[in-house]
A = this chain, B = another copy of it.
Amino acid sequence: MHNELRRHIEEIVSLTDDEYSLITSHFTLQKFKKNDFLIRQGESVKYTYFVISGLLKLVYYDESGKEHILSFAMEDWWETDYQAFYSTSDATMSLQCLENTTVLRITLKDYHHLCAILPKIVLFFLKKATSGHVASQQRLLSLLSSSAQDRYEQLLHRYPSLFQRVSKTLLASYLGVSRETLSRLTL
């Protein structure tokens, strides 16, 4: 069976076999093909997803139809429209496959249930939420204080694999510049 989740959780809290069974019983395995949607902007958000393999984009389409990428979610990432997921409201962004992708998904109810019966998992989720917050803040800082050129270099330095896996057009949407501008930057 898939042990990616166990390995991932045990980087932060250790688990007995029974505890891990308890955890997996709250998740469902699901496979998607390239371009499939896990979440569609405007529709309800039922799940949070743990990426086992593949690649997703969390993306917002503005009124003019331009796409803005909030994040790329790869192996071992947790992703959803968190705002919508926790408040049970409609998605303001979409979550879509850039490659064939396998995930484990959990509902909000099961998430709460799991937290209630397995306190140590709350510590794990706290750690994840904290690093997510820190990561968003770093990205914010880089948007506020760095030029497109610098942001591009920072991104490739941090996630060199992205350069192979996604188009320049998508990288541009992530960096907050037009594809033409990105194309004119020197590597």
**Which A residues fall within an 8 A CB radius of B?**
60, 62, 66, 68, 70, 82-83, 86, 93, 115, 119, 122-123, 125-126, 129-130, 132-134, 136-141, 143-145, 176
Alpha-carbon distance A129/B135, docked complex (angstroms): 12
Alpha-carbon distance A141/B82, docked complex (angstroms): 13
Interchain residue pairs with CB less than 8 A apart (6): A60-B141, A66-B145, A70-B141, A122-B123, A136-B137, A144-B176
Contact A140 B141, CB 8 Å, known A83-B134, A123-B115: no
B143 touches A70 (CB 8 A): no
Given the complex, which residues of B lie within 8 Å of A82, measured CB to CB?
130, 133-134, 137
Which of these, B132, B138, B144, contacts A133 with CB under 8 Å? B132
Which of these, B83, B126, B137, B141, contacts A126 with CB under 8 Å? B126
A143 touches B176 (CB 8 A): yes
Given the complex, which residues of B lie within 8 Å of A144, measured CB to CB?
60, 68, 70, 143, 176
Alpha-carbon distance A176/B126, docked complex (angstroms): 30
Given the complex, which residues of B lie within 8 Å of A176, measured CB to CB?
143-144
Given the complex, which residues of B lie within 8 Å of A141, measured CB to CB?
60, 68, 70, 93
Given the complex, which residues of B lie within 8 Å of A119, measured CB to CB?
119, 122
Alpha-carbon distance A17/B184, docked complex (angstroms): 63
Contact A137 B66, CB 8 Å, known A119-B122, A126-B125, A145-B60: no
